[in-house]
């Protein structure tokens, strides 16, 4: 048995299958000097090759948009000028001119700092190869020989390679080169095929047909494994398959703990496409719809009609399920192309979110009117971000009432019982949680900002990043206090920060009494699975113990038990 340790996991899972080793036969350019008379025919040959390559790429682009980029590259004037220039000036054939042009640009890309850009050298190589094959009239498909389910081992895999594979026969991937944003990584992740990349030189030490085990958790490829290891992985694969099945089955089951305490699982979304994706997970609702995208994707402040159309579409997609829309939360680290925010020393403590909305009331009322009008088409809840005082809430609600009065006067319908809530993400909102809870229908705890404000730790600062920790007892106590205050006044307590989807935190939060967990859609099955498998009474006890802790270490010791 031999093994290779591979540091980069592109897509998770295990595989046991024979290897299929892709040996790239380098088609070399037949170098040849040409005569003056041949220049025109050589250029014509190259133009024909470009046309052939573009025909192929146009067809491939229908399945995968990467090829739309390749289509543009194949016809690029820089390649054309490079090749035709060399043919004319150096009197070399088109193949050689192409290879020289390729090498020039590959060198440029490979020297770039940005990893994404370095990996684009692969696009240049892939396109050049296609052009070279077209010049030489070669058809190639290395994967035609793959007949059984295999782990593919290759130097790297370009879009034109994966396009030729029968994906049903691919058990896993391992590549010598490439990073987690390379083409094969993206394909593998999309299709849920386990994949390791950046393995380093290994192809000369493995053979097609040798049995291999791919473990993306540990980052290891075992070749020619012993029987015990194969058995071990057969069990692991079976467990993973059962867990996936359980998740699938789970999505239709109610959200309640073993002892029958209900909770709700919602998704955080940024636009309508996200909602469509989130609905596949059978969520109870959307706990956070970031309205910023409407403002950030536009070149002007979106009009009432534009916003109304977007909110209405979202509400209709949700078909009666909860849709909590957060009013504009911009400023801080989020800017707009068409609006100049004042330069500030401390943008996170500056002119942002509700502060800006209460200052520019016309813009805010445009959004509130659009939200109200859309509420006639579904179950919309309005949520204000960054609240620090009851005065702010009163001011925002006064504007909301103005908008309602206007709409009534115009005879426009809206949900008269529309619920209003606030994000609890500042220490001030936590301290005043009782007073706020009397005035709102719900809280949603925004743990990303709350953690940074409670701890006074900038979450973007690498130097102090280990101090940014939502398991800090101060943050946990702030959360517990907020939930308890909500319940004292009959308001619902939700959470829409990253913390809500943290596998280690879910039992603790449930034990504190959290009603609604809102997170990125792909985290929802795991949290639901965990909470359904636990008892509320036990989780309450756990929360009680955790809240007594004075250190992060003490907290983690209890949660990791």
Partner 1 sequence: MVQGTITVNNKSGLHLRPASELAKIAGKLRSEITIVAGEKRVNPKSVLILMSAGITKGTTIDIICEGETEEADLKVMMDAIASGLGEGE
Query: Which are the catalytic amino acids?
Result: 183, 496
Nearest distance, CB of residue 459 and partner 1, angstroms: 20
Nearer to partner 1, 72 or 405 (CB): 72
Cα separation, 529 vs 519, whole angstroms: 14
Nearest distance, CB of residue 313 and partner 1, angstroms: 17
Nearest distance, CB of residue 183 and partner 1, angstroms: 11
Beta strand 442-445 pairing with 419-424 = parallel
Of 22, 26, 24, the C-alpha closest to 154 is 22
Nearer to partner 1, 103 or 297 (CB): 297
| Lookup: tokens for 107 | 């060198």
Burial state string for 113-136 with b = 16 or more CB within 10 A and e = fewer than 16: eeeeeebbbbbbbbbbbbbbbbbe
Nearer to partner 1, 292 or 415 (CB): 292
Nearest distance, CB of residue 123 and partner 1, angstroms: 6
Helix and strand numbers, DSSP H then E, in the chain: 23, 16
Q: 50: which strand partners?
A: none
Torsion of Cα atoms, 25 then 27 then 28 then 29, to 10° = -170
Helix (H, G, I), strand (E, B) or coil at 291: coil
Nearer to partner 1, 80 or 468 (CB): 80
Helix (H, G, I), strand (E, B) or coil at 413: coil
Q: Segment contacting partner 1 (CB under 8 A): 77-85, 340-348, 361-369, 540-548?
A: 77-85
One of 69, 179, 427, 554 touching partner 1 (CB under 8 A): 69
Nearer to partner 1, 79 or 403 (CB): 79
Q: Are 13 and 238 in contact (CB under 8 A)?
A: no
Nearest distance, CB of residue 31 and partner 1, angstroms: 23
In the stretch 280-319, what mask flags binding to partner 1 with x, by CB under 8 A?
-------------x--xx-x--------------------
Cα separation, 95 vs 92, whole angstroms: 8
Spell out where 337-439 has E strands: 379-384, 419-424
Nearer to partner 1, 205 or 297 (CB): 297
* Contacts of 523-527 spanning 24+ positions with Cβ under 8 A: 524/265, 524/267, 524/281, 524/283, 525/247, 525/250, 525/251, 525/281, 526/247, 526/501, 527/265, 527/500, 527/501, 527/503
Question: Strand 170-175's sheet: what is its strand order?
Answer: 2-5, 220-223, 211-215, 14-21, 150-154, 170-175, 195-197, 8-11
| Lookup: tokens for 351 | 């002119």
Of 320, 289, 325, 279, the C-alpha closest to 524 is 279
Nearest distance, CB of residue 110 and partner 1, angstroms: 11
Nearer to partner 1, 105 or 436 (CB): 105
Nearest distance, CB of residue 498 and partner 1, angstroms: 20
Nearest distance, CB of residue 305 and partner 1, angstroms: 19
Nearer to partner 1, 201 or 335 (CB): 335
Size of the site for partner 1 (CB under 8 A): 27
Residue 273 makes contact with partner 1 by CB under 8 A: no
Residue 142 makes contact with partner 1 by CB under 8 A: no
* DSSP-assigned letter for residue 66: H
Query: Which of the residues 102 through 141 are near partner 1 (CB under 8 A)?
Result: 105, 108-109, 112-114, 116-117, 120, 123-124
One of 3, 47, 76, 313 touching partner 1 (CB under 8 A): 76
Q: Are 159 and 178 in contact (CB under 8 A)?
A: no
State the CB neighbour count (10 A cutoff) for residue 16: 23
Cα separation, 6 vs 221, whole angstroms: 8
**Residues near partner 1, by CB under 8 A:** 65-66, 68-69, 71-73, 76-79, 105, 108-109, 112-114, 116-117, 120, 123-124, 293, 296-297, 299, 337
């Amino acid at each position: 048995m031999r093994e290779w340790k591979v540091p980069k996991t592109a897509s998770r899972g295990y595989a046991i299958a024979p290897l299929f080793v892709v040996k790239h036969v380098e088609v070399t350019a037949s170098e040849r000097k040409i005569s003056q008379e041949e220049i025109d025919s050589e250029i014509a040959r190259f133009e024909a090759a470009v046309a052939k390559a573009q025909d192929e790429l146009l067809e491939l682009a229908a399945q995968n948009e990467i090829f739309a980029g390749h289509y543009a590259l194949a016809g690029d004037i820089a390649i054309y000028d490079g090749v035709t220039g060399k043919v004319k000036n150096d009197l070399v054939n088109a193949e050689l001119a192409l290879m020289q042009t390729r090498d020039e640009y590959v060198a440029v890309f490979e020297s770039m700092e940005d990893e994404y850009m370095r990996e684009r050298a692969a696009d240049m190589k892939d396109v050049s190869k296609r052009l070279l094959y077209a010049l030489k009239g070669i058809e190639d498909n290395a994967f035609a020989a793959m007949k059984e389910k295999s782990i593919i081992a290759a130097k790297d895999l370009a879009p034109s390679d994966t396009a030729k594979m029968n994906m049903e026969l691919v058990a896993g991937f391992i590549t010598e080169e490439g990073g987690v944003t390379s083409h094969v990584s993206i394909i593998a992740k999309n299709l849920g095929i386990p994949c390791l990349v950046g393995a380093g030189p290994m192809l000369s030490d493995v053979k097609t047909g040798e049995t291999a085990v791919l473990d993306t958790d540990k980052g290891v490829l075992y070749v020619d494994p012993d029987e015990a290891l194969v058995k071990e992985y057969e069990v692991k694969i079976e467990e993973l398959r059962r867990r996936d099945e359980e998740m699938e089955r789970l999505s239709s089951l109610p959200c309640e703990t073993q002892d029958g305490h209900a909770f709700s699982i919602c998704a955080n979304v940024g636009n309508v496409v996200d909602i469509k994706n989130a609905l596949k997970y059978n969520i109870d609702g959307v706990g956070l719809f970031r309205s910023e995208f409407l403002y950030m994707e536009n070149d002007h402040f979106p009009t009432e009609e534009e916003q109304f159309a977007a909110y209405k579409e979202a509400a209709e997609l949700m078909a009666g399920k909860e849709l909590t829309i957060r009013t504009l939360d911009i400023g801080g680290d989020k800017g707009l192309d068409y609006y100049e925010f004042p330069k500030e020393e401390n943008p996170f403590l500056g002119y942002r979110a509700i502060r800006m909305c209460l200052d520019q009331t016309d813009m805010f009322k445009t959004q509130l009117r659009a939200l109200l009008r859309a509420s006639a088409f579904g179950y919309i809840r309005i949520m204000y971000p960054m609240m620090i005082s009851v005065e702010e809430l009163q001011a925002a609600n006064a504007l909301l009432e103005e908008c309602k009065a206007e709409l009534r006067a115009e005879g426009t319908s809206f949900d008269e019982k529309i619920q209003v809530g606030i994000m609890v993400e500042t220490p001030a909102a936590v301290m005043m949680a009782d007073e706020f809870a009397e005035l709102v229908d719900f809280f949603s705890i925004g743990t990303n900002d709350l953690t940074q404000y409670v701890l006074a730790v900038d979450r973007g600062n690498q130097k102090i990043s280990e101090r940014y920790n939502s398991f800090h007892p101060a943050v946990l106590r702030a959360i517990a206090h907020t939930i308890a205050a909500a319940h004292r006044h009959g308001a619902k307590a939700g959470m829409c920060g990253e913390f809500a989807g943290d596998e280690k935190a879910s039992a603790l939060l449930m034990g504190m009494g959290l009603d609604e967990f809102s997170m990125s859609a792909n985290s929802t099955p795991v949290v639901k699975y965990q909470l359904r498998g636990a008892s509320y009474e036990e989780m309450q006890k756990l929360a009680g113990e955790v809240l007594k802790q004075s250190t992060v270490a003490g907290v983690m010791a209890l949660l990791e038990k």
